[in-house]
Copies of this chain bind each other. A is one copy, B any other.
Amino acid sequence: MAPTASQADEDGSPVFGVKMPVGYRQWELIAPSHEAGDFNELRGILGNSIAMAAYREGTLPFPDGAILAKLAWKREPSSEFPGAFVPGHATTVQIMVKDSKRYASTGGWGFGRFVGGKPVDRAQHETCFGCHDAHVKNHDIVFTRFAP
């Protein structure tokens, strides 16, 4: 296998082959969130232009080509403003890619969870769809709603 192909495979998530999308950090904000408990994270969920158009127009299911990126950071108290909490170090980046044919068996979505730019293991990726499918109500298995 050529080095380039090998590298590409290592960069894709197990099960789904989802990769970190180019330029995702510059995508628009869909909404922030706070994951309490052991996670103790602040998150920013971003969408590419296809995803944002679907959010703004209320299009469901999301069209093929929509990509969501959930960026997570540890939640830390601000050192400057009492009562405020701000992002600490980055933890995970989680990607959802809509491709209704390729991912037909998982609601049309492929999933990737990355730490330090590298995908986590297969076992973690095998839990994505079941959890989304069980919990999300009438929103194409996408948790995040647009915060206007």
A interface residues, Cβ below 8 angstroms from B: 25-29, 31-37, 39, 42-44, 46, 52, 71, 73, 75, 78-81, 83-87, 90, 135-137, 143-145, 147-148
In the complex this chain forms, how many copies of it are found? 2
A148 touches B84 (CB 8 A): no
Residue of B at shortest CB range from A33? B86
Contact of A80 among B32, B35, B79, B136 (CB under 8 A): B136
- Nearest CB on B from A45, distance (A): 9
Residue of B at shortest CB range from A38? B83
Tell me the complex Cα distance, A136–B114, Å: 33
A32 touches B42 (CB 8 A): yes
